[in-house]
Chains A and B, each alone.
Chain A
Amino acid sequence: MSIPVSLEGLKKELPAGVRRLGWGLLLIGIAGIALGYAIDPRRMAFDNVVGYLFLTSVAVGSIFLVALEYIGGAVWSTPMRRVNEFLGALVLLLPLAAVPLFLHLHDLFHWMHEETVATDKVLAGKSPYLNANFFLIRFAVFFILWSLFYILFTRNSTKQDVTKDPRLTTVNIRLGAIFLPVFAITITLTAVDWAMSLEPHWSSTIFGVYYFSGTVLASISAATYAIIRFYENGYFPKLQRDSFYSLGALMFAFINFWAYIAFSQFLLIWYANLPEETIWFMARWKNGWQVVSVLLIIVHFVVPYFALLTQDSKMDLKRLKFMAIWILFAHLLDMYWLVMPSYSQEVSLSWMDLGFPVLLVGLAIVVLGYKMRRNNLIPIGDPKLERGLSFRL
């Protein structure tokens, strides 16, 4: 029944200029981070946490989107799925972003100081979970799980390009069913480990969901930007407007979801008014942080909400592209807002904050370029591809 999809006339490799840009940004980022660590290791370590969380968002979120497509039997995203798979490859680089942190864990985490824990009943009570060894074990286990699922998903997907075997889709659906709960637990605990435990006395049960909402938003935005750039420059066959609409709708949905979760977290803490809980928001409501807090609401919710509200705006490629970049920035700001008040009570901007964003942009370009040379950008063996290319809402 299937008509072979012709890949003729489609470009396969990133232009040399873009590749050079990617490597350039990557090297500048590495140099900046190295310099930052040399000058002010404590500050750089906190910036590193922001970068690590951001990278996790995009990388693990992309694998989540792949799993979601298989589980939901989604058709519209099939032609673009490879972009998610390629971005998922960033998972394999997570330890590189975390290694410098392992050398500075004592600067970051209060609860790693044994002498502090000994005199602090609350931290002593949490020490069965919050201790250095278990922290590193968790990091290793999560990394292995994510990498394993990434490798399995993409191996089946690329094998299908050659064999055209529809059973591989079934295998990936089953994998997806296993991955979703794994993802839910690992991403929640990642948020707890890397962001919430910066303030070890504070806790919020909704924190994992909060990070999850940003995770999906960041990965869908990164994919959207890449897909539209590829599409405009002739890497994709003709895609329907409805497919782009679906990307925009998903972005819009998760903007609302983020706001909903963020407000829920705030409302419950505000209502109960318990000092040990409100302290976290109080730290973000003084010494200049209130400006960042208000900015976050505007940048992360108000602007994207109205920019993507109408039906037409979700099909307008220019606007989608712009909003994808905007939301990635908003997610970066969100992570900054989560992490940096633990570094200093007063807002302080530094050139060091730019090190990781520059590095990550470069990294994404390099990884995409590397994967594109070795894999098809279109999953030509996927049985859903035909329907995906002619997808209509």
Chain B
Amino acid sequence: MGLKQSRLGFFTLAFGLLGAVSAVLFMTWVTLIDYPLVIGGKPFWSWPAFVPIAFEITVLSASVLSVVTMIVLYFKFPNNSHPLHDTPYMKKVSSDKFGICIQADDPAFDQKAVQEFLKAVGGKEIATVYFDLEALDHGQNMFDPKFIGVLVLTAILVSGGTYFTFNQLLYMEPFSWMSVQAKSKAQRPSELFKDGIGMRRPVQGTVARGFLPYAFKGKPDEAAKTLVNPLLPTRDVIERGKSKFLTYCSPCHGNFARGDSRLAGQFPNPPTLHTDKVRNWPDGSIYHVITEGQNVMPSYASQIPRDDRWAIIHYVRVLQRAHNAKESDLK
């Protein structure tokens, strides 16, 4: 039909290049100037990492800005209305038909000839539509004060709303970025209690679960005599003892309680637990040492719960037995 090739492709190319260049420049600024960060020992300016982002930005800016250009340049945005839009003819066209509109303001226009020609080429519906020529204003109205006004108003509303939401509203009650919550925090005062202290003491004469005070402080002999291992040496208990032993005891005592850990030599080495002395200790003595500490060894009462201490003792017994195996054990 003698239509010229669309110029839109050049805009797309320009916008795509713009997107690619700005993405690369932005990432260069971030990685070299604003926030240089060593990532995986790579150079600050590592181009392969930029490729996916540059690619996405290129596609995004090329496609979105092409559509915007198309609307502005070819649909004459903001003036995109046409008198034909309100006719029933348009409704059909927009689903599965196409139509030809021939304007009558051409001096060579001959209504009868045109109608007959359209009928001859197979036009299904030929109608005359009357409208004011003034309504058909194809001019580019970008700088129409009304349009600019709406644009500016929208910009103010959107940016103002965004600013208000994030910089004012979210700092107000009840949002406050969720910093105010109806609960008492550790080491903080609380208005809920008369004395204003948030952290409560246990009720007089009670003990919190798992926090039974140790009855044999400074009395190793009594502990040895009185304390009995409450756990049975089942497989589960020994596995648990092994895991706790490897976590808490092995760094100094060594994996096999031989006193040969990787820390050996850096401070007084713990003796091996395979001596006759330790082997003949009752469980209560070992429990006392774990709970109270001995010489350089500190108390492990706060790290290892009571039952785990007893499990560890079972495991220590296993190690001792394994290290001093009798002939009969091998059978």
A residues near B (Cβ < 8 Å) are 263, 266-267, 270-273
A264's nearest neighbour on chain B, judged by CB, is B52
- A271 lies within 8 A of B41 (CB): no
C-alpha spacing A271/B41, complex, angstroms:
10
Chain B residues 145-170 with CB under 8 Å of chain A are: none
- B48 lies within 8 A of A273 (CB): no
- B48 lies within 8 A of A267 (CB): yes
Chain B residues 281-316 with CB under 8 Å of chain A are: none
B residues near A (Cβ < 8 Å) are 40-42, 48-49, 51-52
Q: Which residues of B contact A272 (CB under 8 A)?
A: 40
Q: Which residues of A contact B51 (CB under 8 A)?
A: 263, 267
Q: Which residues of B contact A266 (CB under 8 A)?
A: 48
C-alpha spacing A14/B51, complex, angstroms:
48
- A273 lies within 8 A of B40 (CB): yes
Q: A263-B51, A267-B49, A271-B49 are in contact. List 9 more A-B contacts (CB 8 A).
A: A266-B48, A267-B48, A267-B51, A267-B52, A271-B40, A271-B48, A272-B40, A273-B40, A273-B41
A-B complex: 8 closest residue pairs judged by Cβ atoms: A270-B48, A273-B40, A267-B48, A263-B51, A271-B49, A267-B51, A266-B48, A271-B40
Min CB–CB distance B259 → chain A (angstroms):
34
C-alpha spacing A338/B42, complex, angstroms:
26
C-alpha spacing A266/B46, complex, angstroms:
13
A-B pairs under 8 A by CB, number: 14
C-alpha spacing A273/B40, complex, angstroms:
8
C-alpha spacing A270/B43, complex, angstroms:
12
Q: Which residues of B contact A273 (CB under 8 A)?
A: 40-42
Q: Which residues of B contact A270 (CB under 8 A)?
A: 48
Selected A-B contacts with CB under 8 Å, 13 pairs: A263-B51, A266-B48, A267-B48, A267-B49, A267-B52, A270-B48, A271-B40, A271-B48, A271-B49, A272-B40, A273-B40, A273-B41, A273-B42
Min CB–CB distance A282 → chain B (angstroms):
15
C-alpha spacing A144/B41, complex, angstroms:
49
A260's nearest neighbour on chain B, judged by CB, is B55
Q: Which residues of A contact B52 (CB under 8 A)?
A: 267
Q: Which residues of B contact A263 (CB under 8 A)?
A: 51
Min CB–CB distance B66 → chain A (angstroms):
16
B40's nearest neighbour on chain A, judged by CB, is A273
C-alpha spacing A271/B52, complex, angstroms:
12
Q: Which residues of A contact B41 (CB under 8 A)?
A: 273
C-alpha spacing A273/B48, complex, angstroms:
13
C-alpha spacing A273/B52, complex, angstroms:
18
A270's nearest neighbour on chain B, judged by CB, is B48
Min CB–CB distance B69 → chain A (angstroms):
19
Q: Which residues of B contact A271 (CB under 8 A)?
A: 40, 48-49
B41's nearest neighbour on chain A, judged by CB, is A273
Min CB–CB distance A306 → chain B (angstroms):
12
C-alpha spacing A267/B42, complex, angstroms:
13
Q: Which residues of A contact B42 (CB under 8 A)?
A: 273
C-alpha spacing A272/B40, complex, angstroms:
8
Q: Which residues of B contact A267 (CB under 8 A)?
A: 48-49, 51-52
Q: Which residues of A contact B49 (CB under 8 A)?
A: 267, 271
C-alpha spacing A141/B52, complex, angstroms:
39
A266's nearest neighbour on chain B, judged by CB, is B48
Min CB–CB distance A91 → chain B (angstroms):
36
C-alpha spacing A271/B42, complex, angstroms:
9
Min CB–CB distance B331 → chain A (angstroms):
36
C-alpha spacing A104/B41, complex, angstroms:
42
Min CB–CB distance A253 → chain B (angstroms):
15
Min CB–CB distance B251 → chain A (angstroms):
30
C-alpha spacing A252/B129, complex, angstroms:
46
Min CB–CB distance A269 → chain B (angstroms):
10
Min CB–CB distance A247 → chain B (angstroms):
22
C-alpha spacing A272/B42, complex, angstroms:
11
C-alpha spacing A266/B49, complex, angstroms:
11
A310's nearest neighbour on chain B, judged by CB, is B9
C-alpha spacing A272/B49, complex, angstroms:
11
C-alpha spacing A263/B41, complex, angstroms:
21
C-alpha spacing A204/B34, complex, angstroms:
35
Min CB–CB distance B98 → chain A (angstroms):
15
C-alpha spacing A273/B39, complex, angstroms:
11
Min CB–CB distance B23 → chain A (angstroms):
16
C-alpha spacing A351/B42, complex, angstroms:
41
C-alpha spacing A263/B49, complex, angstroms:
11
C-alpha spacing A263/B51, complex, angstroms:
9
A263's nearest neighbour on chain B, judged by CB, is B51
A272's nearest neighbour on chain B, judged by CB, is B40
C-alpha spacing A272/B41, complex, angstroms:
11
Q: Which residues of A contact B40 (CB under 8 A)?
A: 271-273
Q: Which residues of A contact B48 (CB under 8 A)?
A: 266-267, 270-271
Min CB–CB distance B68 → chain A (angstroms):
23
Min CB–CB distance B19 → chain A (angstroms):
17
C-alpha spacing A268/B245, complex, angstroms:
41
Min CB–CB distance B55 → chain A (angstroms):
9
Min CB–CB distance B304 → chain A (angstroms):
38
Min CB–CB distance A32 → chain B (angstroms):
40
Min CB–CB distance B299 → chain A (angstroms):
44
Min CB–CB distance B46 → chain A (angstroms):
8
Min CB–CB distance A278 → chain B (angstroms):
12
C-alpha spacing A270/B40, complex, angstroms:
10
C-alpha spacing A272/B39, complex, angstroms:
10
Min CB–CB distance A183 → chain B (angstroms):
29
C-alpha spacing A64/B48, complex, angstroms:
33
A312's nearest neighbour on chain B, judged by CB, is B5
C-alpha spacing A168/B287, complex, angstroms:
85
